[in-house]
């Protein structure tokens, strides 16, 4: 599929690796940075089209995912999604059936006024139905390439996603240009989506990045070796 991911905010919090590892399927190991696991809340706008199709996207909707970073038994690095909330029932059903990732149907908005971006989500199906998220950030200047370090790339530059089919692991590849990342500050955040995964609620202010977006090619899922 062809995707366009627009107006992304990356919010990240540190966790004890064992806490995150307990929620991962067999075959995946949490990938740490500075001896901490990192969990991200990532709201954005998703556009989905068929390969080589230039017409109106098949789907266009807000999405918010809760994710962490893992390696499989072969050492391949990638993303594990604890949850993905989307304001499109068709997209939720399709993604659950094909990529075997935990999509949820939610009522969501993404709005902007100048450099301030607001993201809201309230889960509809499946539960917990009271899970909600509200994030407001103010975007600042763009990072120069030489200002970005290994930690910035660890949090944002990911090219593989994992899913499960029964007890077997699936993976799919994603290709896109280098992220354009901006500094940003949190104006407001209230979130239940991280805790709804079984993780403790974040206890510190998040590390924040923002990007205007990228065009993405996502391959079909296949079994890991």
Average pLDDT, the chain: 93
* pLDDT digit string, tens, across residues 88-147: 998 899 888 888 899 999 999 999 999 999 999 999 998 777 899 999 999 999 999 999
Position 56 pLDDT exceeds 60: yes
Please report the pLDDT score of residue 48 as a whole number.
83
Position 13 pLDDT exceeds 90: yes
- Residue 223: pLDDT band with limits 50, 70, 90: confident
Give the closest residue to 30 by CA, choosing from 39, 22, 21, 38: 21
- CB-neighbour burial class of residue 142 (10 A; exposed 0-12, middle 13-18, buried 19+): middle
Position 62 pLDDT exceeds 70: yes
Domain ranges of the chain: 2-223
The dihedral of CA 83, 206, 190, 16: what is its sign? positive
Mean pLDDT (whole number) for 2-10: 94
Please report the pLDDT score of residue 1 as a whole number.
73
- CB-neighbour burial class of residue 57 (10 A; exposed 0-12, middle 13-18, buried 19+): middle
Please report the pLDDT score of residue 95 as a whole number.
85
Position 181 pLDDT exceeds 90: yes
Residue with token string 């975007």 = 139
How far, in Å, CA of 82 to CA of 173, rounded?
18
- Residue 66: pLDDT band with limits 50, 70, 90: very high
The superfamily in CATH containing domain 2-223 is: Acetoacetate decarboxylase-like (2.40.400.10)
Please report the pLDDT score of residue 52 as a whole number.
64
* φ/ψ (deg, to 5) at 55: -80, -170
Query: What would the two tokens of residue 225 be?
Result: 């070796």
How far, in Å, CA of 126 to CA of 26, rounded?
24
Query: 59-72 and 77-86: which strand pairing?
Result: antiparallel
Mean pLDDT (whole number) for 198-224: 93
């Amino acid at each position: 599929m062809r995707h366009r991911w627009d107006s992304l905010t990356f919010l990240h919090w540190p966790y004890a690796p064992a806490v995150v590892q307990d929620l991962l399927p067999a075959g995946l190991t949490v990938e740490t940075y500075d001896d901490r696991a990192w969990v991200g809340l990532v709201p954005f706008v998703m556009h989905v089209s068929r390969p080589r199709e230039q017409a109106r996207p098949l789907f266009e909707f807000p999405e918010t995912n809760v994710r962490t970073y893992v390696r499989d038994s072969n050492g391949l690095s990638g993303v594990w999604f604890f949850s993905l909330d989307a304001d499109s029932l068709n997209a939720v059903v399709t993604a659950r059936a094909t990529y075997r990732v935990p999509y949820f149907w939610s009522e969501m908005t993404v709005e902007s006024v100048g450099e301030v971006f607001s993201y809201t989500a309230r889960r509809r199906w499946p539960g917990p139905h009271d899970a909600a998220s509200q994030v407001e950030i103010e975007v600042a200047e763009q990072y120069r390439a030489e200002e970005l370090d290994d930690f910035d790339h660890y949090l944002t530059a990911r090219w593989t996603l994992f899913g499960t089919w029964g007890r077997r692991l699936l993976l799919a590849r994603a290709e896109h240009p280098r992220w354009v990342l901006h500094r940003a500050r949190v104006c407001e955040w209230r979130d239940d989506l991280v805790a709804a995964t079984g993780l403790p609620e974040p206890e510190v202010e998040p590390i924040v990045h923002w990007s205007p977006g990228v065009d993405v090619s996502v391959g079909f899922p296949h079994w890991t070796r």
